[in-house]
Structure 1
Amino acid sequence: MIKKLSLFSLCIGLLGFVSCQQENKTLVKPKVVPEFYELTAPELLDKIKGAWAAQTIGVTYGGPTEFKHNKRIIEDYESYLHHTQWNEEILPYWMKNHRTLYDDIYMDLTFVKVLESEGLDAPAESHLKAYAEADYRLWHANQQGRYNYLNGMGAPESGHWLNNPHADDIDFQIEADFAGIMSPGMPNVALEICDRVGHIMNSGDGYYGGVFVAGMYSHAFVEKDIATIIHSALNMIPTKSTFHQCITDVIKWHEQYPTDWKKNWALIEEKWGNDIGCPDGAYRDFNIDAKINAAYVVLGMLYGEGDFGKTLDISTRAGQDSDCNPATAMGILATTTGLSGIPAYWLQGLTSIEDINFSHTEMSLNKVYQISYKHSKELILKNGGEIKGNKIRIKTAKSLVAPFEENFPGYQLNKKVNINKRLSFKDNDPTNGSQELEYNFNGCGIVLRGSVGKVGENNRWNNLSDVDPMKDFFFEVEFSIDDQLEKTMKLPLDVTKRALELFFKYEIPPGDHTLKMKVLNPNKGATIWISDMVTYKKD
């Protein structure tokens, strides 16, 4: 399966997508599509500005609530920062003092920079290299993709679920905005860009989340009706995917309960609220899965009814990744209206931050406005459109459907065993025997969770200074199942280079097994902490 995905990514083209086009049935009766969409150059730039600015506003609005309300909404009686006190000081305060809040945007900008530097056909390998070698902190699918790259694995294998436990997580979904913003009215172009970039860290539903978001942005340039934008983007996703099924449910429940978003939220939670893939979400309320967070985006967009305040409020109050979700919803809504259509209330403080470079980049809002504008015009011309003076004509095309992918097929959570064991070493002698452990388990998959750290460091996720002699140290640990060596993991103390899990393995023959780990290079200055073991079974 990995080999097939790799071939697709290298040979992506029209025929590959057309062969998948019969996968979906149209969700709504198609409108008569003209041969060209028409915009003026100022309208196009205004919409691009709206998309990027509203993203920034949305992530700032929801930032203080991120992952603080899991498996529950923010109730009417609960006050949360910003919702009643938006003013001109909020955007500059957060942009200057909480710069890592905007990680979803500076990841977007990493890919924008690659396209600007290498051209719009820059390959997946360039995007993978750019973010994997960057010095910013990453999490979930992004961090595992980085680890895979740093240890010799390329795309799309780096994002495949057999190599990435977080393949269904939200990562690409919150980083795919750029692909839709640079592809106005050209969802097939956005889809091709998504294939190149999205598979470096995600696959399956995690990949579809990015396709869906990019598709909504693309359609929002030429369509104002929110429901139509959602339907059109969803038609890019295979109907048999759980991502498609989840969003279809949200749409259906909106039709049944058109004025009660909380009822819809409860139904989403009941059916889709338990994460399977992400080890951090196993048997916990925490859920960073792409589809449920996309459901919250759609929830905000449908019940927001085109109102910026309501859209922000609902997509934030749905919980979980409640800074990225309102950022996505707000960005797509603002693409329909343009920057000029965002109410002045929400634009307070914007001009004071438009020239501030985002963290870890040399790119500000004012810079990315112009870069995306340039990229969009290049793609319009490249794909049969016309630009004459201020008049822009975008060539339409029949929408294509992404090929079907499925992560963790038939998998269910089996058991979580708390271990809570710290390995410390009295010396650096690999023959002293204290570095070998074994655990019995039953199932078809296993994840061993934990971390490594420097002795004396209370927070194992704080990075060491560049001058610390332990900065470049990494444990080498052999992991075997039933006395068969599976892999040797490098476990760096440097958090930017570390995998989030100590070990994982899927597609093991169902049954009883023994996992053994052996530390090859014990170091008295470092420790390994084993938190728990998550196992899987098949239905």
Structure 2
Amino acid sequence: MKKKTFLAVGLAMMLCCFSSCNQQQAPANQTTVPKDFTISREVLMDKIKGGWAGQTIGCSYGGPTEFRYNGTMIQDYVTIPWPDGYIKWWYDTFPGLYDDVYMDLTFVEVFDRLGLDAPADSFAVAFANAGYTLWHANQAARYNILQGIMPPASGHWLNNPHADDIDYQIEADYAGLMSPGMPNAASAISDKIGHIMNYGDGWYGGVYVGAMYSLAFISDDIEFIVTEALKTIPEQSTYYQCMNDVIRWHKEFPNDWKRTWFECEKKWSQDIGCPDGVFVPLNIDAVINSAYIIIGLLYGEGDFYKTMDISTRCGQDSDCNPASAAGILGTMLGYSHIPEYWTKNLKEVEDINFAYTTISLNKTYQMSFDQAMQMIERNGGKIEGNDIVIACQQPVPVKYEKAFEGQYPTGKIAIDKNITDVGEVTFDGTSIVFKGYVKSPDQDYVAKAEMYIDGKLVETANLPASYVIRRNELFWKYQLPKGKHTVSFKWLNPIAGTSVMFGEALVYSDAPLQVAHR
């Protein structure tokens, strides 16, 4: 009996060694993407599981802090809890926290159902008709699609005032996880799907995150992953310049993440697009929030908790940012190397479907693995028994595009009236965005209203009372001739007990407002 036990233990140790060694080892200080990379099926699955697990854990960890610390870091004395049963508690109490994940799963499910060549419209229709609540660029895109404005127009800034927001950045994980070692393949997926809801810097956030996930399969060097992935972004973009600054500041202040955070705030914290974030501390722009992801990755130094905690403590969208950072690091480490302290809570929910889906984490792991295998073969890789040979890709920049070019916020106009009492709104500038909402006891009601600018009909809009399919902003118009303009509205189908409430208007011009003080 003892002999059999000894032999069994020895065999188990040999198999374990074989499994862990059956992967090409990346150099400690990597400088280039290899031509090809060999990985075992077990290790590939372990890394895919690590990516999804890290994302879910990071989102849960940062959950209670989301947008509670805007324009300020979360100080060290602020404790962030991690009690037993925590992820299950979020699943049961506030499943909407996991919009980071179930948004991804919408796209994963379409790939699973229709294959790798599924058209953009299929993803757009699935996303627009899903039962979950959306915000910002996602909600603006949903409205556009349901009104017949399909991608890429649905994400373009002229149709979507939130085009630079974080939305695609938080849901691009799937693109990198299904494209191991192939960042350009991930970018191609993001081109098709990311333009459903974003444009310009908002789109670049998802491209960059996808590229970091992709490279995390073939490198154990965080600095290399962060730097090499940035090659997918055009250098002339604001997004590239901010990430490049963060990488440079990390080298300049290698032991002080707070100094890099502060430098980032000084130079890159302005938000000119999102109507909710202009002139206030809230910043849901992809640029600054991506910076917080890589601050966590660089200063976390490969430590799962430290990476997640720093990204959280940078503030703003402080559940989504640690979700991305922990997901990228989880891919690099693999599920089996995420400390049990964090995975213990996760294992309680791995067979539970995410809200609004029929997909659990365990299903997700397998679906993502199957899609990665297809992508590897499609892009020149080979499957040789248990070994998978990835034909790695040298990152190349995607196309350059810029949202809100020449748009400078100059002020707000308080309205706070029902459409019937708004009358005429006058402003001096080039663009205007009207915030507001429809309030009705009938959630199926859709207000129809016209906007006139300088006496000319500019738009007739459908304004649903339902929050799920609402229009984020009531009206907007960019790129008017510079000067004074008068705006008025006409409600075409008023009903009793219903109102179309205008909040405030955000005004832009073609240059920053200059005020001379004596």
Common topology (TM > 0.5): yes
Separation of aligned partners in 2, 1:228 and 1:505: 43
Give 1:494-509 correspondences, 5 Å limit: 494-509=466-481
User: AA paired with 2:37?
Assistant: Y
Q: In the TM superposition, what is the alpha-carbon distance from 1:30 to its structure 2 partner?
A: 8.6
Q: Within the alignment, does 1:438 sit opposite 2:424 as a pair?
A: yes
Structure 2 residue aligned with 1:100: 96
Separation of aligned partners in 1, 2:200 and 2:176: 19
Deviates more, 1:489-498 or 1:238-247: 489-498
Kept in 1: contact 2:201–2:402 (CA 8 A):
yes
Structure 2 residue aligned with 1:427: none
Q: Within the alignment, does 1:63 sit opposite 2:35 as a pair?
A: no
Secondary structure of the residue aligned to 1:350 is helix
Deviates more, 1:493-502 or 1:45-54: 493-502
Deviations 1:428-484 (A, max 9, x none): xxxxxx4662100011110011111126xxxxxxxxxxxxxx121111110011112
Q: In the TM superposition, what is the alpha-carbon distance from 1:97 to its structure 2 partner?
A: 1.9
User: AA paired with 1:46?
Assistant: D
Structure 2 residue aligned with 1:511: 483
Structure 2 residue aligned with 1:232: 228
Structure 2 residue aligned with 1:532: 504
Separation of aligned partners in 2, 1:445 and 1:30: 47
Structure 2 residue aligned with 1:7: none
Q: In the TM superposition, what is the alpha-carbon distance from 1:398 to its structure 2 partner?
A: 3.0
Q: In the TM superposition, what is the alpha-carbon distance from 1:43 to its structure 2 partner?
A: 0.4
Kept in 2: contact 1:436–1:519 (CA 8 A):
no
Q: In the TM superposition, what is the alpha-carbon distance from 1:166 to its structure 2 partner?
A: 0.3
Structure 2 residue aligned with 1:51: 51
Separation of aligned partners in 1, 2:117 and 2:317: 31
Q: In the TM superposition, what is the alpha-carbon distance from 1:233 to its structure 2 partner?
A: 1.0
Secondary structure of the residue aligned to 2:347 is coil
Kept in 1: contact 2:415–2:422 (CA 8 A):
no
Separation of aligned partners in 1, 2:181 and 2:361: 22
Structure 1 residue aligned with 2:463: 491
Deviations 1:148-206 (A, max 9, x none): 11111111000000000000000000000000000000111101100110001100000
Q: Within the alignment, does 1:37 sit opposite 2:9 as a pair?
A: no
Secondary structure of the residue aligned to 1:348 is helix
Structure 2 residue aligned with 1:300: 296
Give 1:240-259 correspondences, 5 Å limit: 240-259=236-255
Q: How many pairs are equivalent? A: 483
Secondary structure of the residue aligned to 2:232 is coil
- Select 1:454's aligned residue among 440, 443, 461: 440
Separation of aligned partners in 2, 1:365 and 1:133: 22
Q: Within the alignment, does 1:215 sit opposite 2:201 as a pair?
A: no
Q: In the TM superposition, what is the alpha-carbon distance from 1:525 to its structure 2 partner?
A: 1.8
Secondary structure of the residue aligned to 2:424 is strand
Separation of aligned partners in 1, 2:250 and 2:430: 38
Separation of aligned partners in 2, 1:30 and 1:332: 17
Separation of aligned partners in 2, 1:534 and 1:329: 33
Secondary structure of the residue aligned to 1:406 is coil
Kept in 1: contact 2:229–2:395 (CA 8 A):
no
Kept in 1: contact 2:430–2:508 (CA 8 A):
yes
Q: Within the alignment, does 1:149 sit opposite 2:145 as a pair?
A: yes
Kept in 2: contact 1:155–1:200 (CA 8 A):
yes
Kept in 1: contact 2:33–2:394 (CA 8 A):
no
User: AA paired with 1:491?
Assistant: L
Q: Within the alignment, does 1:473 sit opposite 2:445 as a pair?
A: yes
Separation of aligned partners in 2, 1:295 and 1:410: 24
Unaligned runs of 5+ in 1: 1-28, 424-433, 456-469
Kept in 2: contact 1:219–1:229 (CA 8 A):
yes
Secondary structure of the residue aligned to 2:346 is coil
Separation of aligned partners in 2, 1:397 and 1:106: 28
User: AA paired with 2:377?
Assistant: L
Q: In the TM superposition, what is the alpha-carbon distance from 1:32 to its structure 2 partner?
A: 4.8
Q: In the TM superposition, what is the alpha-carbon distance from 1:33 to its structure 2 partner?
A: 4.2
Structure 1 residue aligned with 2:169: 173
Give 1:124-203 correspondences, 5 Å limit: 124-203=120-199
Deviations 1:44-96 (A, max 9, x none): 0000000001110000000010000000011122233x2xxx24311211122
Separation of aligned partners in 2, 1:55 and 1:304: 16
Q: What's the Cα RMSD here?
A: 1.3
Separation of aligned partners in 2, 1:152 and 1:90: 41
Structure 2 residue aligned with 1:482: 454
Secondary structure of the residue aligned to 1:122 is coil
